[in-house]
Amino acid sequence: MDLEIGTKIKIGVEYAKEHALFEAGEIIELIKGTFDEDNGLYTYESHAPAIWSDYEDDFESIYHLFGNDLENFMDCEII
């Protein structure tokens, strides 16, 4: 499964039940998200496929949305 910038994802019913910020059938498009990372010595900026969250006023990466190994992708569908 390739989730990269520009990919559109249709949110599934089961996923929407567990993630109140989304509705079943909603379509999200991944954009380039910017994140601050800290390696213990300094902070740097990294990029990953993400969505913008008005609720968080920040980016939500695919890792936050679907888990590190996409184990939470559930019944979502790449379209």
pLDDT in tens, 15-54: 999 998 899 999 999 999 999 999 999 999 999 999 999 9
Burial class from Cβ neighbours inside 10 Å (0-12, 13-18, 19+) for residue 54 reads exposed
Radius of gyration of the chain (CA): 13
Q: Is residue 43 one of the residues assigned to a domain?
A: yes
What does pTM read for this prediction?
Answer: 0.85
Q: Is residue 23 one of the residues assigned to a domain?
A: yes
Domain count, the chain: 1
Q: Is residue 1 one of the residues assigned to a domain?
A: no
Structural domain harbouring 66:
8-73
Residue 55's pLDDT band, with cuts at 50, 70 and 90, is confident
Q: Is residue 79 one of the residues assigned to a domain?
A: no
